[in-house]
Amino acid sequence: MLGYLIRRVVYAAFAVWAVSIISFFIINLPPGDYVTSYIAQLAIQGNIIGAEEAESLREYYGLDQPIYVQYLKWMNQIRQGNLGFSFEFGLPVNDVIGERLILTMILAAATIVFIWIVAIPIGILSAVRQYSIWDHTFTFFGFVGLAVPDFMLALVMMYFSFVLFDFSVGGLFSPEYVSASWSLGRGIDLAQHMIIPIIILGTAGTASLIRITRANLLDELRKPYVATARAKGLSEWRLILKYPVRMALNPAISLTAYILPFLVSGSIVVSVVLGLPTVGPILLKALVAQDMFLAGGIILLIGWMTVVGTFLSDLLLVWADPRVKFEGR
Amino acid sequence: MESNPVEHELALEMEDTVEERISVASQRQLIWWRFRKHRVAVVATAIIVIFYTMVIFADFLATNVPADSEAFRGLMPPQPVHIFDGWKPSPHVCAVSGARNPITFQKDYVTDCTEKIQVRLFARGYEYKLLGVIPTDRHLLGMSDDTLRPEDHIYLLGTDKQGRDMYSRLLFGTRISLTIGLFGVVLSLVLGIVLGAISGFYGGLIDNLIQRLVEITRSIPSIPLYMGIAAAFPHDWSILKIYFAITIIISLFAWTDLARVVRGRFLTMRDEDFVTAAMLSGANQRRIIFRHMLPSFYSHIIAAATLALPLMIIAETTLSFLGLGLRPPAISWGTLLQDAQNVQTIALTPWLMIPALPVILVILALNFMGDGLRDAADPYSN
């Protein structure tokens, strides 16, 4: 148990480090350094900076030093909770991202809950009533759900909700709640607006979870202990829910860790299409404007979020499936 | 069983020949027989073949030069082909004419079916080189020369905002999107096979390191990452340069899957007798890997590659859709769908959404084909 935990912590730490290296690499990709863009930005606003001042700025950010020193300086800033300054918004990166990051997390978490609630009962039904009309219907929808890219699903949903219901999907809040502080009303409003994005984001994950639950449960149902329990006269549904379903759920838990990165990726694209106030549209805007501290900060934070989420679902798996503890992986 | 002894004999004999047929069939034949049973996969394969044929003959199938723009005919509705005129077969499209509405300043188009534009097969159109070598001006479909008036035009799927023919653009977009995926798969295969083979063949520390690399790559959200890299391409790069840069990026999307498949195969095969035999007869490692082990699971690799192809197509389409992949004037499914990004365009000009259909169709077909191939790849099971 302890060995498994330590190994997981080490992997997570390594992944956190890898994400920071990648984010720093992306920040440094565009030609020219931070100060050059900063000066150009100030010049547009009419502030001309002298060569001397530019030099001192470069020194402050460590731009005259080797790349690893720059990296360490950047990481040190982040340790103090400072992600740098965004030109595009004229605000510190922290202020730009703030609530949007929380909304991104809420969206991802809610989608996972949705996937679980929808996929597991359907998976069980498909396995218990194998080759029934329900099974075929869900298998077909599962294939389509896996095949259609998120952004296209968003476009299609937008089209149909406009044509059929004359309702335009977009945003996560009604106008009166956009800049209000958190309250119960705002929470309810958010929940109502999240339904369609959650369905769009969750479709692919739901499809794969249905397939996996179905396949695992079918394997379990063929095992002798099921026949034994049935012979002893246990009622059918109680039998299925009590033993084989419990076994079949473990792979479903480990799938959660696997789909989390896809969900976060998908939420970026879907948010751009539907105009959701998550980090997605900001990331796109920052990248197009080459506002690299903002872009790098967003990539860093959602990367870390994903690593932590994966780590948590690994812990969940240990709790749900005691065999993992003894596995000598 | 009350059966005629002669018939019984015949049935037995037939069973024998079937079994004999199976036992002498080559692996390739067995895979084909098994694949053929998977009806959906066969249909899917036919669809993919049709699409790649369209890729090769995009020029021949097109009706207009895809880059030809004319502001006055922007956002024109589609002109479907009518095969019959009343009861008489006479293929034509209806003329569409438009004028600017003086109040809304929008172009209003009127489809006038009393005015017919005759169409025919193998009509003359713009000049191009068939397969890049044969100069010609024949196209599969076009307006008949003899009844042609100068103001006539044919836009089977309407036009976009700049008045460019959606149908021809869709064909050329298909060409780019499907080839970029193919090149991406090849790159990804090389990366996946090399790393997977090293990992599975040597095992131990190297295997451990590569597996951790795969795990970490999988745990990082890919879209934001590749968005970051793609955004850094200089704006003055040529279409060709961007095309190859994007190919490299999208090949990074799927190598982990391929590496895992290859590694798993190598691990199970390392202890097989024929590998030991090759080792004992003094074959070097490279020969064992590439001559003995790899060919024995080509079919698995092909199946995995087929399943990776849709991932690449989605990746390219998504990046281009966001404006970070291929950029206009390059045409791909993603750049075409960029025009359909907001509700107004979708509601007023739904034909701009048409490029979504081939994307969904191709991705579905590739998934079914890959599934069929994966099931058929191991013909000796069962």
At B89-117, the pLDDT tens digits run: 777 777 777 766 667 666 677 777 777 77
**Which residue in B has a C-alpha nearest to residue A158's C-alpha?**
B343
pTM of the full structure: 0.80
Kindly indicate the confidence band of residue B1, based on its pLDDT and cuts at 50, 70 and 90.
very low
- pLDDT given for residue A326 in this prediction: 55
Which residues face B108 on adjacent strands?
A: B99
Residue pair B374/B307 in contact (Cβ under 8 Å)? The answer is yes
Domain extents in chain A? 2-89, 100-276
Within 10 angstroms of residue A52's Cβ, the number of other Cβ atoms is 8
Residue pair B158/B351 in contact (Cβ under 8 Å)? The answer is yes
Query: Looking at CA atoms only, how far is residue A233 from chain B in angstroms?
Result: 34
Name the interface residues of B facing A (CB cutoff 8 Å): 212, 215-216, 218-225, 227-229, 231-232, 234, 310, 314, 317-318, 321-324, 337, 340-341, 343, 346-347, 350, 353, 356, 359-360, 363-364, 367-368
Q: Which two tokens stand for residue A227?
A: 């026949």
Please indicate if any CB of chain B lies within 8 Å of the CB of A273. yes
Secondary structure class of B331 (helix, strand, coil): coil
Instruction: Tally the C-alpha atoms within 13 A of residue B141's C-alpha that lie toward its C-beta.
Output: 20
Residue pair A149/B336 in contact (Cβ under 8 Å)? The answer is no
Which residues face B116 on adjacent strands?
A: B94
Q: Average pLDDT of A219-236?
A: 85
Q: Average pLDDT of A22-30?
A: 82
Residue linked to tokens 């759920």: A249
Instruction: Choose from A80-94, A207-221, A240-254, B217-231 the range with maximum mean pLDDT.
Output: A207-221
Domain extents in chain B? 79-154, 168-376
Calpha distance B298→A307 (Å, rounded) = 35
Kindly indicate the confidence band of residue A329, based on its pLDDT and cuts at 50, 70 and 90.
very low
Kindly indicate the confidence band of residue A62, based on its pLDDT and cuts at 50, 70 and 90.
low
| Residues whose CB is less than 8 angstroms from the CB of residue B82 and which lie 6 or more positions away in sequence, other chains included | B91, B92, B93, B94
Q: Average pLDDT of B197-214?
A: 80
Calpha distance A151→B333 (Å, rounded) = 13
- pLDDT given for residue B319 in this prediction: 85
In the DSSP assignment, the letter for residue B111 is: E
Cα separations in angstroms, A321 against A233, B4, B107, B201: 27, 60, 64, 31
Residue of B368, B313, B379, B314 whose CA lies nearest to B46: B368
Do B324 and A147 count as a contact with CB atoms less than 8 A apart? no
Instruction: Choose from A50-64, A188-202, B67-81 the range with maximum mean pLDDT.
Output: A188-202
Do B219 and A149 count as a contact with CB atoms less than 8 A apart? no
SS3 content of chain A, % helix, strand, coil (to 5): 80, 0, 20
Please indicate if any CB of chain B lies within 8 Å of the CB of A312. no
- pLDDT given for residue A260 in this prediction: 81
Q: Point out the residue among B220, B317, B323 whose CB comes nearest to the CB of A288.
A: B323
Q: Average pLDDT of A200-217?
A: 86
Query: Looking at CA atoms only, how far is residue A285 from chain B in angstroms?
Result: 10
Please indicate if any CB of chain B lies within 8 Å of the CB of A239. no
Which residues in chain B have Cβ-Cβ distances shorter than 8 Å to A169? Answer: 343
**Which residue in B has a C-alpha nearest to residue A288's C-alpha?**
B231
Kindly indicate the confidence band of residue A45, based on its pLDDT and cuts at 50, 70 and 90.
low
Do A269 and B318 count as a contact with CB atoms less than 8 A apart? yes
Pairing of strands B82-85, A91-92: unpaired
At A149-170, the pLDDT tens digits run: 888 888 888 777 777 776 666 6
Q: Point out the residue among B219, B322, B340 whose CB comes nearest to the CB of A284.
A: B322
Q: Average pLDDT of B341-358?
A: 78
Q: Which two tokens stand for residue B16?
A: 């024998």
| Dihedral pair phi/psi, residue B138, rounded to 5° | -85, 135
Taking one residue from A and the other from B, the number of pairs with CB-CB distance under 8 angstroms is 130
Q: Average pLDDT of B308-331?
A: 84
Do A299 and B367 count as a contact with CB atoms less than 8 A apart? no
Kindly indicate the confidence band of residue B20, based on its pLDDT and cuts at 50, 70 and 90.
low
Do A15 and B318 count as a contact with CB atoms less than 8 A apart? no
- pLDDT given for residue A146 in this prediction: 78
Is the peptide bond between B329 and the residue preceding it cis, with omega within 30 degrees of 0?
Answer: yes
Which residues in chain B have Cβ-Cβ distances shorter than 8 Å to A150? Answer: 318
pLDDT over 80 at B139, yes or no: no
**Which residue in A has a C-alpha nearest to residue B230's C-alpha?**
A287
Residue pair B44/B59 in contact (Cβ under 8 Å)? The answer is no
Please name the amino acid found at residue A23: S
The count of residues in chain A is 329
- pLDDT given for residue A33 in this prediction: 64
Which residues in chain A have Cβ-Cβ distances shorter than 8 Å to B345? Answer: none
Q: Which of A 139-168 lie inside 8 A of B, CB atoms?
A: 143-144, 146-152, 155-156, 158-159, 162-163, 168
Instruction: Choose from A40-44, A130-134, B364-368 the range with maximum mean pLDDT.
Output: B364-368
Within 10 angstroms of residue B148's Cβ, the number of other Cβ atoms is 14
Query: Looking at CA atoms only, how far is residue A210 from chain B in angstroms?
Result: 17
- Cα distance from N-terminal residue to C-terminal residue, chain B: 29
Which residues in chain B have Cβ-Cβ distances shorter than 8 Å to A261? Answer: 218-222
Q: Average pLDDT of A120-138?
A: 85
- pLDDT given for residue A167 in this prediction: 63
Please name the amino acid found at residue A114: F
Q: Point out the residue among B220, B227, B359 whose CB comes nearest to the CB of A303.
A: B220
Do B359 and A152 count as a contact with CB atoms less than 8 A apart? yes
Please indicate if any CB of chain B lies within 8 Å of the CB of A306. yes
Calpha distance A25→B236 (Å, rounded) = 22
Q: Which of B10-19, B44-53, B106-115 has the lowest mean pLDDT?
A: B10-19
Q: What is the dihedral of CA A289, A295, A296, A299, to 10 degrees?
A: -150
Residue pair A9/A262 in contact (Cβ under 8 Å)? The answer is no
Calpha distance B187→B246 (Å, rounded) = 12
Residue pair B130/B318 in contact (Cβ under 8 Å)? The answer is no
pLDDT over 70 at A318, yes or no: yes
**Which residue in A has a C-alpha nearest to residue B232's C-alpha?**
A30
Residue of B89, B92, B97, B243 whose CA lies nearest to B176: B243
pLDDT over 80 at A254, yes or no: no
**Residue-averaged pLDDT of chain B:** 78
Question: In chain A, what is the greatest distance between 2 CA atoms, to the nearest angstrom?
Answer: 89
Range A21-25, long-range pairs (CB < 8 A, 24+ positions):
A21/A71, A22/A299, A22/A303, A22/B220, A22/B225, A23/A296, A23/A297, A23/A299, A23/A300, A23/A303, A23/B228, A24/A70, A24/A71, A24/A74, A24/A296
| Dihedral pair phi/psi, residue B49, rounded to 5° | -60, -45
At B356-378, the pLDDT tens digits run: 888 888 988 888 888 888 777 76
Do B221 and A30 count as a contact with CB atoms less than 8 A apart? no
Calpha distance B159→B10 (Å, rounded) = 65
| Residues whose CB is less than 8 angstroms from the CB of residue B224 and which lie 6 or more positions away in sequence, other chains included | A264, A265, A268, A283, A298, A299, A302, A303
Calpha distance A10→B289 (Å, rounded) = 33
| Residues whose CB is less than 8 angstroms from the CB of residue B138 and which lie 6 or more positions away in sequence, other chains included | B60, B122, B123, B124, B125
Q: Which two tokens stand for residue B150?
A: 């100068």
Calpha distance A82→A92 (Å, rounded) = 8
Do A265 and B221 count as a contact with CB atoms less than 8 A apart? yes
Do B227 and A284 count as a contact with CB atoms less than 8 A apart? yes
At B219-277, the pLDDT tens digits run: 778 888 888 888 777 777 787 888 888 888 888 777 887 888 788 877 777 778 888 88
Which residues face B82 on adjacent strands?
A: B92
At A272-283, the pLDDT tens digits run: 888 888 888 888
How is A47-68 classified by DSSP, letter by letter?
----HHHHHHHHHHHTTTS-HH
Domain A100-276 matching CATH 3.40.50.720: the answer reads no
Do A143 and B368 count as a contact with CB atoms less than 8 A apart? yes
Q: Point out the residue among B212, B218, B317 whose CB comes nearest to the CB of A261.
A: B218
Calpha distance B305→A64 (Å, rounded) = 46
Helix (H) or strand (E) holding A73: helix A67-79
Residue of A319, A316, A321, A325 whose CA lies nearest to A116: A316
Identify the CATH class of B168-376.
Answer: mainly alpha
- pLDDT given for residue A114 in this prediction: 92
Which residues in chain A have Cβ-Cβ distances shorter than 8 Å to B218? Answer: 258, 261
Do B353 and A159 count as a contact with CB atoms less than 8 A apart? yes
At A85-101, the pLDDT tens digits run: 777 777 788 888 888 88
Q: Which of A11-25, A205-219, B131-145 has the lowest mean pLDDT?
A: B131-145
Within 10 angstroms of residue B42's Cβ, the number of other Cβ atoms is 14
